[in-house]
Amino acid sequence: MKFIAEINVMPLKEILDPQGKAVTGSMKNLDLAEIQNIRIGKHITLEIDADTEEIARQKVDTACKKLLANLIMESYEFELTAV
Amino acid sequence: MKFGVVVFPGSNCDQDSVDVLGNILGQEVVKLWHKDHDLQQCDFIILPGGFSFGDYLRSGAIARFSPIMQEVIQFANKGGYVMGICNGFQILAEAGLVPGALLHNDHRKFNCKNIFLKPQTLDSLVTNQLGLNKALKIPVAHGEGNYFADADTLKMLNDQDQILFKYCDEAGNISLESNPNGSIQNIAGVCNKQRNVFGLMPHPERAADSLLGNQDGLGIFESILKTVDA
């Protein structure tokens, strides 16, 4: 079976996100100063062949833990869809 | 003593390291291609600065899984000496060979300038010939040099004397103003618990040749030779 994983990687809450801070700062230039605390992460999609959803989930989880996210500075979550 | 400098696609300080070790210090030095699996009996491995794999995903994250890194990690785990400079430090952190991580600079600008660096311990292979009171002028060139470690890790680093360098001003004051990237506790370099793996963001290999007018970085390499050859 083929699955698509949609992965979100976000900077941990306690870590300064300078990119998000800069974009938050620009909101007042759009007259949208009420928008606060923008945080910017990564959205990653991938395809995976696996016999079961559980195996696909384990493999995506391994990819996230080992490479796609650095757990010292980021957290991740993902959704898996069969195609 | 034989040094090996690993070359990844996007490394750009490999030749500087080779030049310092080979031409200035007269050591045997070879380049090691990242796709190889042979460390060629080197005694000391250097992961050089640069932008391996274009800094894609996170700096150092992809290089950490280059073929030769299997051998570098095994070598380090057996007590072999490894030093990562700038991108090399990021690769070591991604590999878990030194604690912590390197985040984007807090101001989000690329840093390319001379900074001052204060050794924090003389009890390491790379600092034993330095002084604790002299500020060293060394260049930095990085966008992701903001050292981060959680509170437990920081405590461990301090308790076990693993902090090698902190950013300071010319007079040696370690202050907020002298911190070029937002690094926690002004940390510029650390070693692992076993004290055989070293990582630092500044570039001592760019401050070692008298022709360049600054040799403040040479002492780091001389420390290595002094200890190992003694």
Q: What is the ipTM of this complex?
A: 0.88
Q: Which of B65, B105, B107 sits opposite A67 (nearest CB)?
A: B65
Domains of chain A: 2-82 (3.30.1280.10)
Tell me, what's the pLDDT at B229?
63
Residue B65: what pLDDT? 97
Which among A16, A18, A70 has the least Cβ separation from residue B94? A70
Taking the CA atoms of B117, B214, B7 and B27 in sequence, report the sign of the dihedral they define. Answer: negative
For residue B95, give the chain A residue with the closest CA.
Answer: A66
Mean pLDDT of A36-48: 97
| Cβ atoms within 10 Å, residue A83 | 7
State the pLDDT at residue B222: 96
- Please report which residue ranges of B139-214 form alpha helices under DSSP H: 151-159
The pLDDT tens digits of the residues spanning B98-139 come to: 999 999 999 989 999 999 999 999 999 999 999 999 999 999
Q: Which residue of A has its CA nearest to B103?
A: A73
Edge-first strand listing for the sheet containing B197-200: B28-33, B2-7, B44-47, B81-85, B197-200, B187-191, B163-168, B111-119, B136-142
CB-based contact B61 A22, cutoff 8 Å:
no
Helix residue ranges per DSSP H, A1-83 = 18-26, 53-63
What token pair was written down for B225? 């030779």
Q: Which residue of A has its CA nearest to B59?
A: A70
Q: What's the pLDDT score for residue B104?
A: 95
Domain residue ranges in chain B: 2-229
Cα-based distances in Å from B120 to B46, B61, B184, B185: 21, 28, 15, 12
Q: What does pTM read for this prediction? A: 0.95
Of B212, B116, B93, B120, give the one whose Cα is nearest residue B168. B116
Is B144 catalytic? The answer is no
Where does B2-229 sit in CATH, by number? 3.40.50.880
Q: What is the SS3 assignment for B20? A: helix
pLDDT, tens only, B32-42: 999 999 999 99
Cβ B148–A73 below 8 Å, yes or no?
yes
Rounded CA-CA distance B227/B211 in Å is 26
Beta bridge mates, B167: B117
CA distance linking residue A52 with residue A56, whole number of Å: 6
- Considering only CB atoms, which chain B residues are within 8 Å of A16? 103, 106, 182
Question: What one-letter code names the amino acid at B36?
Answer: D
Q: Report residue B55's pLDDT band, with 50, 70 and 90 as the boundaries.
A: very high
Whole-angstrom Cα distance, residue B104 to residue B182? 9
B40: left (phi over 0), alpha (psi -120 to 50) or beta: left
The reported pLDDT for the residue numbered B230 is 55
Dig out the tokens for B99 from the structure. 């604690």
**B71 counts as catalytic:** no
Interval B159-216: pLDDT, tens:
999 999 999 999 999 999 999 999 999 999 999 999 999 999 999 999 999 999 999 9
The Cα–Cα gap between A12 and B123 comes to: 34
For testing the chain B interface, which of A62, A65, A70, A76 should be mutated: the one with the most B CBs within 10 Å? A70
Residue A45, strand partner residues: A6
Nearest to A73 by CA among A11, A7, A31: A11
Q: What are the tokens at A75?
A: 């957290």
Confidence grade of residue B227 (pLDDT, cut at 50, 70, 90): confident
Which residue of A lies nearest to B147 if distances are taken between CA atoms? A73
Residues 10..49 of A with a Cβ closer than 8 Å to B: which?
A: 15-16, 18-19, 22
Does the annotation count B13 as an active-site position? no
B119, B172 Cβ separation under 8 angstroms:
no
**Rounded mean pLDDT, B51-57:** 96
- Residue A16, min C-alpha distance to chain B (Å): 7
For Cα atoms B182, B185, B186, give the angle at the middle one, nearest 5 degrees.
Answer: 55
**Are B140 and B113 a contacting pair, CB within 8 Å?**
yes
Q: What is the mean pLDDT of chain A?
A: 96
Are A22 and B108 in contact (CB < 8 Å)? yes
Beta bridge partners of A5: A46, A80
- CA-CA distance, A62 to A52, in Å (whole number)? 16
- Of B61, B93, B101, nearest to A67 by CB-CB distance is B61
Rounded mean pLDDT of chain B? 97
